[in-house]
Chain A
Amino acid sequence: MPDYDAIVVGAGNAGSAAAISMASKGLSVLLVDRSDPPGAKNLSGGVLWGNDLAQILPKWQSEAPLERFIDNKKIGFLTEKSSIVIDFKTEIFRENKVGYTVLRSKLDPWMAKKAKEAGATVIPGITVESLVIKDRTVVGVQESGDVITSNVVILAEGINPRLSIEAGLRGPLQDWEVSVGVKEIIKLSPQKIEDRFNLTPNSGMASEYIVGNMGDLNIGAFLYTNKDSISLGIVSPMEELRKNGVTHTYDIIETFKEHPSIAPLIEGGTVAEYGAHLIPEGGLDMVPQVYGNGYMIVGDAAGFAFSNGLVLQGMNYAILSGIVAGETAVEAKTRNDFTSKSLSAYEEKLQNTYVLKDLKTFKDIRKVTGNKNMYTVYPKMLEGILLEMLWERGQPKKKVRDILGSCATDLKMSRLKTMTDFYYIYRRM
């Protein structure tokens, strides 16, 4: 008899969601995390979208440590001197509570606590050193020479999945699969945040930017409002960083903070924390085999995240994949069959959720996010168009068609190239 029905490695959103969904259905579950408190090594940009948690924690919106609900979403383009921002503020978000800013060092221990309340054994501060594999089946984990066994191991290791790599369940990560996320928490009083961003005491703003003033680098950035702090960060694709070869990842965030439209937003704030984390951005192509004899892989470790340069989501994909893996384990227990064949239900179920549907729909999205023009040309083109239309200089005015043409020419883009580029972006986005 194994020690547990299931061992979950990693108490992030995915791991805790899996543990809750299994323990609440009566499985014996061990949830381990290498940090104490659990989740203290986890870092996200900081917006949890969607309502997937309701499946396992119906009262999460009133009980979870959430910062602010998002009723204002901004999508922006930056050039050296300008910012062009779509500012979407809506009562529909306010009424439906579609997303919340969160701080993982608060949210993750809360989810681990909920796993414990559901009946799971939660042990933080344990570093699993390796998976125990017998007859090509994962049968448990090993820590300091101790072996703990289970019917199934759920790997929720995150985007730096050492155990899966060492056990050969997936290959080492490649440049194209990841971006480097660098983040700061900047303390500001709630009053300042609400005044500066036009918010009420519980409402929040989430903004994402295409940063067009970083030379040849494709840089994305984000700025979110918490209760009494700002989450601010940049996202640098590893491939681009390597091609560039002369820019420190830690300097890019400074350039973003110093932008004339960003600096006033954080003025007077003090940096309370600095951090960095990899972000899965390889889409469907980076997803490994997510199940096998005695194991399933969930969350970031499976590459479940979505990015199109303007939207960056991961926690919702993590939670839903954790829940689905948990449900699969519960069904496998009734069959008393934890072989690859039995656990293949995990992937089949995921095919019917947005997790794998989105990755499939947007399988070509890297051609958009990797399109240099999105960063180095189009923000400047937008700036040029707006200057031409809005800046009265005592010159005869031009039609939009002619403005677009002259801006494209200024940026050494032919009209045809611009139009085909727009068409491809439109097709894939």
Chain B
Amino acid sequence: MIVAERKPFDEILEMLAPYKRVLVLACGGCVTVCLTGGEKQADELASQLRLAARQKGMDLTVESDSITRQCDREFIEDLKTDPGQYDAVLSMACGVGVGFMSELYPETPFLPALNTTFYGANTAPGAWAEYCRGCGDCVLAWTGGICPVARCSKSLINGTCGGTNDGKCEVDSEMDCAWLLIYKRLKELGRLDEYRKIRPPRDHRTDRGRGVRRLVHEEMVELEEEESKA
């Protein structure tokens, strides 16, 4: 899932300065699961904003709404409110939601309430950690299921560097050395031969090296075209 963090309140307030009527729009997807951008957090933020506006004497009206997913066209009709009726929408979605909604409502500014941080999993109550970088060329088959691209601070692909310290990374004594984890896992699996192989440098063409990445299922595009003709 996509994990995001709430932006600092003051940054949000500064973002909203030019606007008088604002809709705080929650997203029911990943950001609800990581307890950052769901309906509850949107209602809380809306009331904090109303309070701050009153205290600072700002002319600001704030309402809130939520939608199942801001990255999917099919849920737009479930909106109780019309985003187009507001001066701006403060989106509680990840960057995908903010960007996609901006396209759907070209007349309305969509502002990010969150910083989208990583693709992660829930590791303990209230804690999430990064597991994937979306590099476009998955290596997990030969790294014991532990991603060196996402979990090694240097994204190294040929093994541990000299910065491994008591099993932790030189960057942060709380962070495991991914390559030591990979080594131990491969050893347990009897697959150290995978560690011994020299891996070629990563191909950054799949990893944002060529701009916007897309996925197109041609057969679905064709089906759609045939249906529209018929």
A and B interact physically: no
A: which residues have CB within 8 A of B?
Answer: none
